[in-house]
Chain A
Amino acid sequence: LSLMALRLRLKNSFCHSFDAPVLTSSISEVINLFLGSPDAHVKPQFLDSEVQDILTRITGLNLEKVFRPIKQELKPPKYKLMTDAQLEEATQSAREQAQRLLKMPPVLPERKPINDVLSEDKILEGMDTAKYVFTDITFNIPHRERFIVIREPTGTLRKASWEERDRILQVYFPKEGRRLTAPPVFKEENLKVVFGQDRHEDMLDLCQVQFEPDSSEYIRVHAATYEDLEKMGKYDLLRSTRHFGGLVWYLVNARRVDGLMIDMLQKDLLQDAVSLVGLFNKVHPHSETAQEASSQQAYGLDLLKIYAKRESQRAGYVELALQAYEQTSAESTV
């Protein structure tokens, strides 16, 4: 019970501001300290530093794609005369800027509905036909802790539900790009049309702006996008964007990493494939792959071979791709 309370409190401290920097120590390590025994396993969370490292490495850093032209104000281009050293510095700062742009949005469990009733006043029944919504607009409180209460015509004073909260906070503290009612793009039929046009990234950006990360709508849209990407095999669309980590996390939790693995091997991204299997073993330590890997202390290609043997459904494909890679690497060395 105390473990759950600790985990909730740590999670709640993330909920207040999503721009907070990633913690240097991982949550599971902290919880393990409190548990006492190092063998007791706590499921690695999305925001652990190790998991984030692996995911950032897999995401890649294609500067061309990150800084591709986006719709903005038309300005005449600026030309600068630089020495080689200055060019190096400029590329370095561009790299850092790209890393900041690629910061992953958090993956949180779905929020529990609010059912708090503050007072029941039967004497007020029939006073008015409309509800009264009272918002506290004091400036210095985080939005999650703000009081938004509703007095119903029946006289009950209750706290507002999550959807009502989102709408009313948008009225009094508008966020840029967010609309009061969700745009109809997020309905199932319209999502399919958008996916047909290969605009998954725009869809995820729009979803990021419109919904809170732990709302059911956000999780539903993200799940639909990831499913469609996995069905079509279009992992490259998200490859150097900030949504790639979320995609990988979703697939690893659903244990359907085959398509991504094959895609990586076809593109000769061996390091990424190895990190992917490493992440899989961390998240599912009781699976056959993880146990065999830990018993054999396997690294690199051996990890991939173990994964191909044990876990994957399309084992033949993965082994073929591995053999092809080994052949090409042997030829290149020879």
Chain B
Amino acid sequence: MVHLSSFLLKTYHGGHIVIRLAMAGHKQSNRPFYRIVAAYNKRARDSKYIEQLGSYDPLPNIYNEKLVSINSDGIKYWMGCGAHPTKPVAKLLGLAGFFPLHPMTVTETERHRALAELAEEAAPEDGVKQQQL
């Protein structure tokens, strides 16, 4: 597949540009923190990127909020230069209202709800069994 970005960018790098999540925790275990970043596709996930376009903190804070920052001007620029967003970034931006809603978000919600209902049905049965015993 010939990537559009190679024609729009000045230097040929042998890959295309992506907007993806890069981990920024500096190897602290059990505390993830992601940067939304425009980088070349072939580079390692956490290594040198072209520009940082935001951040995402997957652990909720004391107000039960997950903070996401988006540099909308930057994202528009890089998408105009031919960058491709990855699935997680596309999902986040869909939740934000910047992109239209990603179809996998809906599917995941439905799966999550089905699992939750199964767990609810299992739990009262366990409770009844405990009483009988």
Interface residues of A (CB under 8 A from B): 118-119, 121, 123-139, 147, 149-151, 157, 168, 171-172
Tell whether, in the assembled complex, residue B106 and residue A133 are in contact, meaning their CB atoms are under 8 Å apart.
no
Contacts of B60 in A (CB 8 A): 129-131
Question: What per-residue 1/0 map shows which CB atoms of B99-118 lie under 8 Å from chain A?
Answer: 00100011011101100100
Contacts of B74 in A (CB 8 A): 138
Contacts of B65 in A (CB 8 A): 130-133, 150
Contacts of A119 in B (CB 8 A): 97
Cβ distance B110 to chain A, nearest Cβ, rounded Å: 8
Q: What are some 19 contacts across the A-B interface (CB < 8 A)?
A: A121-B101, A123-B109, A125-B113, A126-B109, A126-B116, A129-B60, A130-B60, A131-B64, A131-B66, A132-B66, A132-B68, A134-B69, A134-B70, A134-B96, A134-B97, A135-B67, A137-B54, A137-B71, A150-B65
Contact A151 B95, CB 8 Å, known A130-B65, A133-B65, A135-B70:
yes
Interface residues of B (CB under 8 A from A): 54, 60, 64-74, 92, 95-98, 101, 105-106, 108-110, 112-113, 116
Residue in A126, A138, A157, A172 whose CB lies within 8 Å of B73: A138
Contact A132 B96, CB 8 Å, known A126-B112, A138-B71, A150-B65:
yes
Assembled-state Cα–Cα distance A125/B106 (Å): 9
Cβ distance A205 to chain B, nearest Cβ, rounded Å: 28
Contacts of B66 in A (CB 8 A): 128, 130-133
Contacts of B112 in A (CB 8 A): 126-127
Q: Which applies to chain A's interface (DSSP): helix, strand, loop or mixed?
A: mixed
Tell whether, in the assembled complex, residue B68 and residue A124 are in contact, meaning their CB atoms are under 8 Å apart.
no
Assembled-state Cα–Cα distance A136/B66 (Å): 14
Closest residue of B by beta carbon distance from A135: B69
Contacts of B70 in A (CB 8 A): 134-137
Assembled-state Cα–Cα distance A24/B6 (Å): 55
Assembled-state Cα–Cα distance A157/B105 (Å): 15
Cβ distance B99 to chain A, nearest Cβ, rounded Å: 12
Closest residue of B by beta carbon distance from A124: B109
Tell whether, in the assembled complex, residue A149 and residue B109 are in contact, meaning their CB atoms are under 8 Å apart.
no
Closest residue of B by beta carbon distance from A130: B60
Knowing that A123-B109, A132-B66, A138-B71 touch, tell me 17 more A-B residue pairs with CB under 8 angstroms: A123-B106, A126-B116, A127-B109, A127-B112, A129-B60, A130-B65, A131-B60, A131-B64, A132-B68, A133-B67, A135-B69, A136-B72, A137-B54, A137-B70, A138-B74, A139-B73, A168-B67
Contacts of A128 in B (CB 8 A): 66
Cβ distance B117 to chain A, nearest Cβ, rounded Å: 10
Assembled-state Cα–Cα distance A132/B106 (Å): 16
Tell whether, in the assembled complex, residue A126 and residue B113 are in contact, meaning their CB atoms are under 8 Å apart.
yes
Tell whether, in the assembled complex, residue B68 and residue A134 are in contact, meaning their CB atoms are under 8 Å apart.
yes
Contacts of B98 in A (CB 8 A): 134
Assembled-state Cα–Cα distance A151/B70 (Å): 14
Closest residue of B by beta carbon distance from A147: B72
Contacts of A151 in B (CB 8 A): 95-96
Contacts of A172 in B (CB 8 A): 69
Closest residue of B by beta carbon distance from A167: B63
Closest residue of B by beta carbon distance from A138: B73
Contacts of B109 in A (CB 8 A): 123-127
Assembled-state Cα–Cα distance A127/B113 (Å): 8
5 closest A-B pairs (Cβ-Cβ)?
A: A130-B60, A134-B96, A127-B109, A138-B73, A137-B69
